[in-house]
Amino acid sequence: MFVLGVDPGLSRCGYCVLRIGDGAPRAAALGVMRTDPDMDVPRRLAELRDDFRGLLDEFEPRSVAVERVLFQVNVRTAMGVGQASGVLMAEAAARGAEVVEYSPNQVKDAVAGHGDADKEQVQKMVQILLDLPAPPHPPDAADAAAVALTHVAMSGVLR
Which residues participate in catalysis according to the annotation?
7, 67, 140
Ramachandran angles phi, psi of 64, nearest 5°: -125, 120
Residue 155: CB atoms within 10 A of its CB come to: 15
